[in-house]
A and B are shown apart, each in its own frame.
With several copies, the nearest count.
Chain A
Amino acid sequence: MTVKSPPTVAPVFDDGSTVQIPTLRILQADGTLISGAQTPELAKELAHKIYRDMVYTRILDERMVGAQRQGRLSFYLTCTGEEASVAGTVAAFKQDDMIMGQYREQVALRFRGFSTEQFMNQLFSNAKDLGKGRQMPVHYGSRDLHFMTIRSPLATQIPQAAGYAYGQKLAGNNACTLCYFGDGAASEGDFHAGLNMAAVLKSPVVFVARNNGYAISTLSSEQYAGNGIAARGLGYGIKTIRVDGNDILAVYAAAIAARNIAVQEQRPVLIETMSYRLGAHSTSDDPSGYRSAEEEDEWRQKDPIIRMKNWLINQTWWDESRDEDLHKNYRKEILEELKLAEKCPKPPLSDLITDVYQDTPAHLLEQFESLEKHVAKYPDSYKVHGENS
């Protein structure tokens, strides 16, 4: 029917291994360009911003893992190792393009302008958390910054992103959607539904598959048998590119081109960023049970932040002393805000029942009334944990 397919008389099977999907690379570990590579247009200020946000995120992650170990936080999850995959993509988009992430993309939120205080409010589920203290740490979201609130179920955002972008197309305002997910999430049925629908219905959405080699303990060789996630993009007829996710210039170059395609051609694009989850899956995880320190070390050599720093220094856009200051200032800022957020009161009990519906229905109000009475009877037993009494 609708496929183009030349006739053949040879009964030959193809498992896709002949289909080459190269990896875009621009920057080498020492910060020099690969021969023949072209730097994408990237103004000094923007380069600085990207770098600063990556450094910020690294420090935030280190600090919060520490805070979790100290028992100040119930849970945390880092972006460590994948900062360039995320920063390099978000930097190519417009401020009002919608971002629908998985959970390991805090650098995108930082890039959009989420403040340290806002991060801390969410992490400590305090009364100032935009999410009203309802979700676990790292489930950030901000309407102002066009960053859809993170949810835990994997891959659900993928068909949603296809729909969101379709709505943007009908609205006709040249905005698009940027949707992140992991190599593990790409095995979910929702991945298939979302990418196929976006392709057929021509949604202006850029999918970024963060292929970091793991889904918790599950190796990507236990996740798929084909040529990564990119090979599937080809199957959907989606314009697809694979990039070195630790190479900020390659990621940025791909993302700029991807957004152009999405908005100009009103169709989806898939970027697969090849990288590595340098840390544990989350603070609940211990990777020593399933991978070697050597493997981790190997990837530490490819750190995307160091690589970008080397490039900036080569450009004479940066130097070590500025770098030290940057680190110091961020550490200080984060620690200060952490302390403030910890002390901030928790959300009121009434937040338990609002927003289930736009207007709280009678039966829920009734349930809440009797809960309030009960809590008033036993105030000591229902102190919100972390609450100062």
Chain B
Amino acid sequence: MTDVTRMNLIQAINNGLDTAMAADEKVICLGEDIGKFGGVFRATSNLQEKYGRPRCFNTPLTEQGIAGFAIGLAAQGSVAVAEIQFADYIFPAFDQIVNEAAKFRYRSGDEFNCGGLTIRAPYGGGIDGALYHSQSPEAYFCHTPGLKVVIPSNAYQAKGLLLAAIRDPDPVIFFEPKAIYRASVGDVPNSDYELELGVAEIVQVGTDITLLGWGAQMIQIGKAAELAAAEGISCEVIDLRTLLPWDRDTVVESVKKTGRLLVSHEAPLTGGFAGEIAASIQERCFLSLEAPITRVTGIDTPFPLIQEKQYLPDHLKIYEAIKSSLAY
């Protein structure tokens, strides 16, 4: 037996869930079609078979019910891992997440909490999914004190962050970049490991500009950094990994060094989380900034179908923005 297995991102999720369920019998998975079928993306494959139906089951088709039920489970002392089939369908659960889960501990004066809650959902574009199978709703949750928001960008992170999320004492929204569920392949430890929440990863050290992103955008950012390198531009690349609370210190330090920041996400520009990052960083790095902080994001429309490629912030748009920033 080796220590690592080569697997893709969705297999790493499945492996993370398996690891969590094996380690703690209080861990329960629930959601639409996640039982025998193993979920529409196969995240829960074989878990019902292995751990029994009471611990891994199909729910009726109601996201608000799934979230509410999972909050109740968590309040009772179980560790609830709920799947929302697509992040686009998390909105019926918005009240349960924002008014309930996020405020559960606070409003009770810590008499009660639902920290055992994790809500997983595939998110983002890239699968010809149009308006309702492509959205990136992370910013909605990042404006909600009491929640944590986590997004992995590769298989190794997926397992380690998921295990940390499941065991975190606060409710966590865990968005999975479905565009790279199969495309992102890497060595994943067979062991039970956690990656600390709230800590960004410096993927590449550089000196001219800081490129910041999360999820599937890291691939676009990586490609753009390569294009830039070919022109002699040295990019520092940071993968945020946890959006709430986000690792501001790491970003501040980087921007103080590079003097430039570009943030990229798929969600529409206005009100997206890049705005928060830009606002926060201009405050702390005002005197170091040599150019305005640049946002390369989706545009302010619903997510399209036929013009998905045009809509999405890709390596070329990031590359152009890097050059503009350097030329400022």
- Of A170, A357, A375, most buried by chain B (CB within 10 Å of CB) is A357
Q: Mark A147-171, 1 if CB is under 8 A from B, else 0.
A: 0110111101011111111111011
B245's partner among A362, A377, A382 (CB-CB below 8 A) is A362
* B109-129 interface (Cβ within 8 A of A): 109-113, 115, 128-129
Whether, in the assembled complex, B108 has its beta carbon less than 8 Å from a beta carbon of chain A, the answer is yes
- CB–CB A194/B65 < 8 A: yes
- CB–CB A215/B32 < 8 A: yes
Cα–Cα, bound, A125→B306 (Å): 7
- CB–CB B77/A197 < 8 A: no
Whether, in the assembled complex, A4 has its beta carbon less than 8 Å from a beta carbon of chain B, the answer is no
Whether, in the assembled complex, B206 has its beta carbon less than 8 Å from a beta carbon of chain A, the answer is no
Whether, in the assembled complex, B100 has its beta carbon less than 8 Å from a beta carbon of chain A, the answer is yes
Whether, in the assembled complex, B290 has its beta carbon less than 8 Å from a beta carbon of chain A, the answer is no
- CB–CB A149/B107 < 8 A: yes
Whether, in the assembled complex, A211 has its beta carbon less than 8 Å from a beta carbon of chain B, the answer is no
Cα–Cα, bound, A168→B75 (Å): 11
List the one stretch of B2-10, B87-95, B184-192, B253-261 in contact with chain A.
B87-95
Whether, in the assembled complex, B71 has its beta carbon less than 8 Å from a beta carbon of chain A, the answer is yes
**Smallest beta-carbon distance B186→chain A, Å:** 26
A166's partner among B38, B73, B310 (CB-CB below 8 A) is B73
Between A and B, 24 residue pairs with Cβ closer than 8 Å are A132-B110, A133-B305, A151-B131, A152-B132, A159-B65, A159-B68, A159-B72, A164-B76, A187-B65, A188-B64, A188-B92, A194-B68, A194-B69, A197-B62, A200-B59, A224-B60, A349-B310, A351-B306, A356-B145, A361-B198, A364-B245, A367-B299, A374-B316, A378-B316
A134's partner among B59, B72, B95, B131 (CB-CB below 8 A) is B131
Residues of B in contact with A (beta carbons under 8 Å apart): 28, 32-33, 35-38, 40, 54-55, 57-65, 67-78, 80, 88-89, 91-92, 95-96, 99-100, 103, 105-113, 115, 128-133, 145-146, 148, 169-170, 198, 245, 248-249, 269-270, 299-302, 304-307, 309-311, 314, 316-317, 320
Cα–Cα, bound, A196→B60 (Å): 8
List the one stretch of A14-22, A24-32, A135-143, A308-316 in contact with chain B.
A135-143
A136-B129, A382-B309 as given contacts; A161 in contact with B109, CB under 8 Å: no
- CB–CB B65/A374 < 8 A: no
- Of A153, A162, A351, A374, most buried by chain B (CB within 10 Å of CB) is A153
B302's partner among A129, A356, A367 (CB-CB below 8 A) is A356
Which residues of B sit under 8 angstroms from A39, Cβ to Cβ? Answer: none
Report the nearest B residue to A196, measured CB to CB: B60
For the complex of A and B, 7 pairs with smallest distance between CB atoms? A163-B72, A159-B68, A193-B65, A167-B76, A160-B72, A152-B132, A163-B69
